[in-house]
């Protein structure tokens, strides 16, 4: 699997979350994902494609016992440097196509903003399902290819072969649902505010106002293993 997020790219990725727009988008996506996933204290959760630890930290703060995995050593180093000792998180370098965990090992699997950059998505999905316990939930959140943000990133990918988005594969709700229609339990969308606006426009109020008229920029799908 190609390592895209390394060196300065990894650093810039993490710093984006501290920008005004980045922190707003993170807040919107976090609220939508956690409302669907409803993490329970004491459960063992895999953060698949954890990057710089953004959601691993949030899940641990909710009381979960978290294992964060990523293929990028540079992303993992940033994650470790951000994580306080009292948080229950183990970070491991691992290829999502071949997980070094036994069957039915985790109570839940959580993957946000990672599937865009995953090769062989169906194979990865089957691996994530394999290590999920019966009754456990698998959540995947990704950029919506049909939304304004997805269209922007696809345009950037076409115009700049050096962009990280030139390596990305984008999905919509139907694409994600097809990974496992039988066990699909819920899906939702968020980030209705389009890109390119003044920073002052990125507010909860505007997000709510546009929810009925705009296509979501980010989509989240969840399955429950029988």
pLDDT at 1 (0 to 100):
57
pLDDT at 2 (0 to 100):
60
Sheet containing strand 106-112, strands side by side:
89-93, 65-70, 44-48, 106-112, 132-143, 218-224, 184-190
Q: Which residues pair with 67 in a beta bridge?
A: 46, 90
pLDDT at 118 (0 to 100):
87
* CATH topology for the 8-92+100-224 domain: Rossmann fold (3.40.50)
> Cβ distance 70 to 46 under 8 Å?
no
pLDDT at 148 (0 to 100):
98
> Cβ distance 68 to 97 under 8 Å?
no
Angle at 215 between CA 204 and CA 165, to 5 degrees: 95
Locate the domains of the chain by residue range. 8-92+100-224
Over its length of 226 residues, how does the chain's per-residue pLDDT go in tens digits?
566 777 678 888 889 999 999 999 999 999 999 999 999 999 999 999 999 999 999 999 999 999 999 999 999 999 999 999 889 999 999 999 999 999 999 999 999 999 999 879 999 999 999 999 999 999 999 999 999 999 999 999 999 988 889 889 999 999 999 999 999 999 999 999 999 999 999 999 999 999 999 999 999 999 999 9
Residues 6+ apart with CB under 8 A from 137: 37, 108, 109, 185, 222, 223, 224, 225
Orientation of helix 20-37 relative to helix 54-61, angle to 10°: 50
């Amino acid at each position: 699997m190609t390592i895209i997020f390394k060196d300065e790219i990894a650093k810039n990725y993490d710093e984006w979350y501290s920008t005004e727009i980045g922190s707003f988008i993170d807040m919107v996506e976090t609220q939508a994902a956690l409302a669907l996933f409803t993490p329970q204290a004491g459960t063992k959760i895999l953060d698949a494609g954890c990057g710089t630890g953004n959601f691993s930290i949030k899940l641990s703060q909710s009381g979960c016992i978290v294992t964060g995995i990523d293929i990028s050593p540079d992303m993992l180093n940033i994650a470790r440097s951000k994580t306080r000792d009292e948080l229950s998180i183990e970070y491991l370098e691992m290829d999502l196509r071949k997980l070094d965990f036994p069957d039915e090992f985790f109570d839940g699997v959580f993957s946000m903003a990672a599937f865009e950059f995953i090769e062989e998505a169906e194979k990865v999905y089957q691996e994530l399902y394999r290590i999920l316990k019966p009754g456990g939930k698998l959540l995947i959140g990704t950029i919506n290819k049909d939304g304004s943000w997805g269209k922007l990133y696809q345009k950037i990918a076409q115009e700049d072969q050096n962009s990280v988005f030139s390596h990305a594969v984008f999905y919509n709700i139907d694409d994600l649902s097809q990974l496992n229609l039988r066990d699909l339990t819920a899906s939702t969308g968020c980030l209705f505010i389009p890109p390119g606006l003044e920073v002052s426009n990125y507010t909860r109020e505007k997000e709510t106002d546009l929810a009925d008229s705009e296509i979501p920029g980010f989509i989240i799908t969840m399955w429950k293993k029988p």
